[in-house]
Amino acid sequence: MNILVRNMRKTNPLVFPQNRGVSDAANDIQRETEELQQNISRSITFGDHLSEMMERLFETKQEHAINNWDGYGAKAIDEQSYKNSTRFILSLTPDIPIPEIGVEPDGEVVFEWYGGKRNVFSISMGSRNELTYAGLYGISKTYGVEHFYENVPDTLLDNINRVFSGRV
């Protein structure tokens, strides 16, 4: 018997452990899990928040679908970065403010949270499940790379919350 222990404060209930099974039973569980995720995402609690972020991501994809979208040779949005960004959005808890969403010149999707002058946190989603981040909090700075699998790393959630906590 396996037991799954999760910190529900930092985990979106829409995110389930990745199915690595190959049996018919594992496929049935995967199908039921996906159905449950769809039902939860349509709820009032999660639906509006998720819908707005997904809509912003889709609009960003359309605006950056071709090479040279900026007139300076920027690459079109990377399809795998877009798919990973969809998973990233679904893994955010509803208490995380909706970020600005854009595309970097290399085609990666970028999420940015602004909390005022010199108070910003940015995450770029790569095609290889890498989250490159940078934050500016007054005179303090932070940056690094985290890997994204099923849940947003605590380091990133803490930095997003730091933007809005008033501590710099």
Work out the number of other CB atoms within 10 angstroms of the CB of residue 30: 14
**Cβ contacts of 33 within 8 Å, gap of 6 or more:** 16, 19
Instruction: Report if residue 99 sits inside a domain.
Output: yes
Instruction: Report if residue 95 sits inside a domain.
Output: yes
Q: Tokens 């970020």 — which residue?
A: 99
Q: Report how many domains make up the chain.
A: 1
- The β-bridge partners of 119 are 137
Answer yes or no: are the C-beta atoms of 117 and 137 closer than 8 Å.
no
Instruction: Report if residue 85 sits inside a domain.
Output: yes
pLDDT in 10s for each residue of the chain, 168 residues: 444 444 444 555 555 556 667 788 877 877 777 676 666 655 555 567 788 898 999 999 999 999 999 999 999 999 999 999 988 998 888 889 999 999 999 999 999 999 988 999 999 999 999 999 999 999 999 999 999 987 899 999 999 999 988 654
Instruction: Report if residue 125 sits inside a domain.
Output: yes
Answer yes or no: are the C-beta atoms of 103 and 77 closer than 8 Å.
yes
Quote the domain boundaries for residue 53: 24-165
**Cβ contacts of 122 within 8 Å, gap of 6 or more:** 110, 111, 112, 113, 133, 134, 135
Instruction: Report if residue 40 sits inside a domain.
Output: yes
Instruction: Report if residue 12 sits inside a domain.
Output: no
| Cα–Cα dist 23/9, whole Å | 32
Instruction: Report if residue 10 sits inside a domain.
Output: no
Instruction: Report if residue 16 sits inside a domain.
Output: no
pTM value is 0.75
